[in-house]
Amino acid sequence: MNEAEFTEWRPMRTAPKDGTRILVTVRESEQGAAEVDVVKWASPDPDSEYGWLATDSDPEAKIVYGEPELAAWMPLPSAVSRGAPKPALAPYVGDEMDGSAI
């Protein structure tokens, strides 16, 4: 993949649901501003349905996002090359990719 593929947000409908860790934009809500998180498609426990599980969730309080909570995704970048630091990744803001927001 080229560098552009790691810097362009994509519609959530195209996100991989195979357990691959990806970056997502969590939509702005009453709880706070839009933010970027790392998630994977997984079940938080054997008795639960699959969803977008935050990979840094506490085992006692797992965070699982519903589809409407997420605006866009992109692959995790490969190891950062030595040299100039990369700018912080901003959440996706723009026209809806997959329909209307909540």
Give 27-77 pLDDT, tens digit per residue: 998 889 999 999 999 998 889 999 999 999 888 889 999 999 999 999 998
pLDDT score of 87: 59
Higher pLDDT, 92 or 23: 23
Which H helix or E strand runs over 25? strand 22-26
What's the average model confidence in pLDDT over 5-16?
87
Residue with tokens 């589809």, as numbered in its chain: 67
pTM for the whole structure: 0.74
Percentages helix, strand, coil for the chain (3-state, rounded to 5) are: 10, 30, 60
The H or E element spanning position 72 is: strand 70-75
Tokens of 2: 């080229």
What is the rounded distance in angstroms from the CA atom of residue 29 to the CA atom of residue 8? 23
Q: In the prediction, which pLDDT does 31 show?
A: 86
| Average pLDDT score over residue span 13-18 | 96
pLDDT of res. 10: 96
